[in-house]
Structure 1
Amino acid sequence: MPRVRKKEKLRAQPPLDLTIDRLSHEGRGIAQREDGKLVFVDGALPGEQVTVQVTFSNKKFDEAQVVSVQYAAADRVQPPCAHFGVCGGCSLQHMAPPAQIAFKQSVLADHLRHFGGLSPETWLAPLTHDAAVGYRRKARLGVRYVIKKEKLLVGFRERQASYLAEIDACAVMDPRLGQAVTPLRELIAGLQARDHIAQVEVAAGDRLPGHEDVALVFRHLVPLVEADRQAIIAFCASRGWQAYLQPAGYDSVHKIWPEQGPDRLAYHLAAFTPPAAPAGTGLTMAFHPNDFTQVNADINQRMISLALELLDPRPDERVLDLFCGLGNFTLPLATRAREVVGVEGVASMVERGYENARANGLGNVSFHAHDLTQDFQTQPWAGLGFDKILIDPPRSGALEVIPHLAKLGARRVVYVSCNPATLARDAGAMAEQGYVLVKAGVMDMFTHTTHVESIALFEKRR
């Protein structure tokens, strides 16, 4: 049966009344029909009695959406964003933030138990913050011009769909960005190339002297006429923002406004001051708008402090930072340790690391480019020997690195993870190498989403 006809047939079915038993790892309510078939329900919470409409069905399970809530859970709250339920950006806005973080810790515990057969000796208190909205400093906004309706859409994809949601603001994004959605849409709608702008990358830094604090990167599929280029410049110049164009791949990104000055934003790490700098100076971390940086500035600061507390670098120790990026952990570590070595697979990030080390007056840090999924035993830095190691890998994890940790000499490892499944898998592999999972916990980096950011401490005991 064609998919469209099947959806129409499901919509024609009468709604179901269900009681939600628990949440899936994706944050959907799980209920059981009278015939025993499982139903995954978007927008439902454990303990609730809901009326739902089935949107997908196969032999093993159904998927459904909440039509109405007959009995609400104590953790249900009014979503802070008017576009919740349509926009797919944040699927947990109907759940109170403390319940969200408790759910995420349960996900981490389940993964550690299932994939690694482990549980930490001590659970860390969740790392949280007060701002449940206005925290997200980086995002990729999709752009689509609907010719039949003569309407331009700017935003995120709809939930469970490939269409862009029609939004006029984003409550979760930093207000500098979230409140600019409508003006940005109006700008693009007025361009001759409005149906050839694919996306806009938005990034915000701290408001620091000598640095613009917001940048927009416009991905365009055809060359822009001069009038379009000037319109983009005027839009950004009026706000004191940087403007970039991206006519092709990543390497084609170039700044068009301001004409002078570096293509950098920056953020400040107040808690970490180089030994030779005046007290309270902190670190200033410059980055290109397309560089990877953590989206939540407050949690990033707290995460770095927690990582250093767990790792406990000493003035006489050499520390290794794997998957170091632009030095988000490397430079803070260098304010505490004798020497820090950062290794990263992207050469431009190595350059950024050195740039930031020089700007902050840190001479006890070095950066190296190497694909850490490949053997690195012959690399000169690998033979130095390390007292402690920090690992902050991508979602795919660090499985290829783990067999080498003991050879590097480190007895303490801190692992920062953006994927609890690969952290759990890697924790099992570390246990085989004699590392004990001492502490673990979650961090509220992405409030209102099902994304689980976590941190774990391992110690070598055999």
Structure 2
Amino acid sequence: MVQIYKAAKGRKPGPVSLANQLLTIDELDHAGMGVCRSHQPVVFVEGALPGEQVETRIIQKKSRHWQGQAVKVLQSSPERIEAFCPHINQCGGCQNQHIGQTDLLAHKQQAVAQLLSRQSGVSALPWQPPLQGDDRHYRRKARLAVDAQGKGGPSVGFRAKGSDKVVNIRQCAILTPALQSVLTPLLQAVKALKGVRAIGHISLLDADNQLQVCLRVTRDLPATDLAQLRSLAEKCKVSLLLETAPERFEYLSGERLNASYQPATGLNLTIGPNDFIQVNSAINQAMVAQALEWLDVAPGEQILDLFCGVGNFSLPLAKAGTKVVGIEGVQAMVTRARDNAQNNGLAVDFRCMDLSDSQALLSLPVKVDKVLLDPARAGALELMPVLHKLKPGAICYVSCNPATFARDIAILAEKGWRIDKINLMDMFPNTAHTELMALLKPSGATGKA
């Protein structure tokens, strides 16, 4: 785990040395970064694997750790494989293409176990098999950046490593096949627009009911540009929208129909162009099914779903016959969640609440049987004491940040909670992201939650 430290007052971190370092890598952290502990301070090296000797360019020095990038592998690990993407050395995504996903998950699991042991004293974890899917063709939602200010013509693609520079892409193997089929004609059309400088970014969505392309524009596009975009949309059979102001959309082509997806069989959830959706459909469905299985929900139970979004977990829980209270901090998503419940013929009590506000948390239901929470990367620190006081039979914590998860779990562990099940979920293959799910129970609880 890479910690960020501040230099002591009156002292500034030393300048980065221009000389490369020859390092031997001991292990990977949970983001897939190589870790050299024989060097002091410890060095985290992007692109390096355990057992490798690598020539490392140091890019940042702090008092307790350095960060570097492997520029040459002198002794290679048997786990090293060839990257599949031609943009690997420029694009800032898919950082871990140099190791297979099964090997990477094994290293990440070990790193998470060490992190939990250090921060919360939790050891001998009851690991369950990870949720895995295809490591390519999985991403159903993406955002392309546009830079039309350069002298070499417009650039459309993803951000470069550690930079705001936009890398022109020709292909992206992690996009779903449907999005990949749209990518090339879209890139060509956008670069040819007269008003390309008015385009901030482009959102792509492969929903269950449509392919959607949404251009964020800062001013009106010329009529000729609009005609070209409509022609593209008809040719590629996509719904094309312009976002002319925050959350203000204009349909250029396609049916005026909200995009939708299925978190579980028989449920259809609608989402707006800017709504959050898990980008990996297969892993999302497996994750939802696992959460219901681990919680062992029964009809009539009172379930509290925190950070509920548009109902990704709430509606499957309600379909299972439970009484769900779903809480989300964004009013627009609460409104969408209520619509989704109504459209699916389900009754869910959705509420808008700031879940970081300790006073607001006092209005949480007094009696709940079980809790599910799926917070953002910041975690749910303020919620931990509240959840303990609610005395649920079980807590299912879905995390996209092992560091804040470990911090939060440490509070519950001090109060007697234990991890009953835990596993990794490969939501973002080939990347530094690590997602996990854990089922927690109060000490003494056995059998069903």
Same fold (TM over 0.5): yes
Runs of 5+ in structure 1 lacking a partner?
Answer: 1-5, 272-281
Please say which of residues 395-404 and 90-99 is displaced more in the overlay: 395-404
Q: Which residue of 2 aligns with 1:143?
A: 146
Q: Which residue of 2 aligns with 1:205?
A: 207
SS of equivalent residue, structure 1 residue 46:
coil
In 2, the alpha carbon distance for the partners of 1:444 and 1:369 equals: 30
Q: Is the 8 A contact 1:75 1:99 kept in 2?
A: yes
Q: Which residue of 1 aligns with 2:249?
A: 253
Q: Which residue of 1 aligns with 2:272?
A: 288
In 2, the alpha carbon distance for the partners of 1:57 and 1:370 equals: 40
Q: Which residue of 2 aligns with 1:217?
A: 214
Q: Is the 8 A contact 1:109 1:119 kept in 2?
A: yes
Deviations 1:199-254 (A, max 9, x none): 11111112xxxx32x212211222222222232222223222121212332x2234
Query: What percentage of aligned pairs have identical amino acids?
Result: 38
Runs of 5+ in structure 2 lacking a partner?
Answer: 1-14, 445-449
The list of structure 1 runs, each at least 4 consecutive aligned residues, that deviate by more than 4 angstroms after superposition, is 35-39, 52-64
Q: 1:219 to 1:69 in 2, by over 3 A?
A: same
Alignment map for 1:409-420 (pairs within 5 Å): 409-420=391-402
In 2, the alpha carbon distance for the partners of 1:68 and 1:133 equals: 26
Query: How large is the RMSD of aligned CA atoms in angstroms?
Result: 2.5
Q: 1:315 to 1:235 in 2, by over 3 A?
A: same
Please say which of residues 296-305 and 370-379 is displaced more in the overlay: 370-379
Q: Which residue of 2 aligns with 1:165?
A: 167
Alignment map for 1:55-454 (pairs within 5 Å): 55=59, 63-119=67-123, 121-129=125-133, 131-149=134-152, 151-206=153-208, 211-212=209-210, 214-249=211-246, 251-258=247-254, 260-262=255-257, 264-271=258-265, 282-363=266-347, 365-374=348-357, 375-376=359-360, 379=363, 382-383=365-366, 385-454=367-436
Q: Which residue of 1 aligns with 2:11?
A: none
In 2, the alpha carbon distance for the partners of 1:371 and 1:205 equals: 29
SS of equivalent residue, structure 1 residue 382:
coil
Deviations 1:296-334 (A, max 9, x none): 001001101111111111013111111111111011111
Q: 1:432 to 1:239 in 2, by over 3 A?
A: same
- Count of aligned pairs: 429
Q: 1:427 to 1:17 in 2, by over 3 A?
A: closer
Q: Which residue of 1 aligns with 2:28?
A: 23
Give the partner amino acid of 2:88.
Answer: F
Please say which of residues 183-192 and 323-332 is displaced more in the overlay: 183-192
Give the partner amino acid of 2:256.
Answer: G
Q: Is the 8 A contact 1:120 1:438 kept in 2?
A: no
Q: TM-score, with normalisation over the residues of structure 2?
A: 0.88
In 2, the alpha carbon distance for the partners of 1:75 and 1:166 equals: 30
In 2, the alpha carbon distance for the partners of 1:371 and 1:347 equals: 10
Q: 1:21 to 1:434 in 2, by over 3 A?
A: closer
